Structure 1
Amino acid sequence: MNVTINWKKQKQNYLIEKNNKENLDHTADIQLHSWGDTLLEAFEQVCIAMFGYMYELEDVQLLKHHTVEVSGHDMSSLLFNFLNEFLGLHFEEDYFIFKDVEIILFDPKGFSLKAIGYGEKFDRDKHGTGTEVKAITYSAMQIKEEKTKCEVWVVVDI
């Protein structure tokens, strides 16, 4: 038995009859904004904000610490590398959650810093989760430094 099907007509009918699809708005990014009296405080706070987006930080204890040293070719690359280093440690160290970050050395002319991050490893029974940050981006990154207030904006990929 030979059966010939007009696929174009079948496809047209299917598309007309079936409307089980929709376009959904989707964002793969979130912008973090932090501020402080100094640039160091703004940097520290944006790092904490990143982990606060991923986890409920009030349940995190300061049980361990990790030290990072980073540099860049300008202030934006320093900020990027600073956040990227902490995000990398998060994944490398069994989802270590940084609740507090302290910059202990800072060279603004050489674009380098040393920081200590405090927290603990992720525990599914203890820590609530939000949305995972996958990467830091330069998109819309801003660093605004004034005499009495410093602010930073960083977009992260989620």
Structure 2
Amino acid sequence: MADDSIEEVVKDAGEVPEIKYEYLDHTADVQLHSWGSNLTEAFEQNGMAMFGYMTELDTVDIKEKHEIIANAEDLDGLLYHFLDELLFLFSAEPYLICKKLRIEEFDTEAFKIRCSCFGEQFDLAKHPQGTEVKAITYSAMQIVQKPEKCEIFVIIDI
């Protein structure tokens, strides 16, 4: 996927969605709170909240597209593994900082996510260094599903 031209990747990514997340204070860590009109959007927003904590997303351009797959035994585990796969994408080659995430497949029965990740390689000369995310935690993890809105709360270890 990294072999696509920049123009193809930008076209495929489409518009960057509105921000629907915030950071909540937590002792020694940070809690990501995201929301969306459905579970897919809330998961995507939670991933973007994590990337937004690492750098200023306004400085990130869409130049590459990569795909991640996350699997688990339940929905909390799926959220954990989804964020962990995104963190790995940033922490190891290709060191991708994402500007947009698009979940292409979200199977809540088999607990599987396939997600397209759009961004570029992290570069300290271009991207202001935010806070390093060391790990995702299950601590106080909540996935709240209501007919009109889904919310997610995740504490990340910084």
- Structure 1 length-normalised TM: 0.81
Deviation at 1:28, TM superposition (A): 3.0
Deviation at 1:64, TM superposition (A): 0.2
- The letter for the 2-side match of 1:48 is M
Aligned equivalent of 2:23: none
Aligned equivalent of 2:118: 118
Q: Structure 1: how far apart are the matches of 2:156 and 2:95?
A: 17
Aligned equivalent of 1:52: 52
Deviation at 1:122, TM superposition (A): 1.2
- The letter for the 2-side match of 1:52 is G
Task: Map 1:55-94 to 2 at 5 A.
Answer: 55-94=55-94
Q: Structure 2: how far apart are the matches of 1:86 and 1:78?
A: 12
Q: Structure 2: how far apart are the matches of 1:86 and 1:92?
A: 10
Aligned equivalent of 2:134: 134
Deviation at 1:94, TM superposition (A): 4.8
Q: Which shows bigger deviation, 40-49 or 108-117?
A: 108-117
Unaligned runs of 5+ in 1: 1-25
Sequence identity percentage: 51
Aligned equivalent of 2:157: 157
Number of equivalences: 133
- The letter for the 2-side match of 1:41 is E
Unaligned runs of 5+ in 2: 1-25
- Structure 2 length-normalised TM: 0.81
Q: Structure 1: how far apart are the matches of 2:43 and 2:150?
A: 9
Q: Structure 1: how far apart are the matches of 2:67 and 2:94?
A: 16
Deviation at 1:27, TM superposition (A): 4.0
- The letter for the 1-side match of 2:53 is Y
Q: Structure 1 stretches (4+) deviating beyond 3 angstroms?
A: none
Cα deviation per residue 1:58-108 (whole Å; 9 max; x = unaligned)? 010010011011111110000000000010111112532011100001111
Aligned equivalent of 2:17: none
Aligned equivalent of 2:8: none
Aligned equivalent of 2:39: 39
Q: Structure 1: how far apart are the matches of 2:42 and 2:55?
A: 20
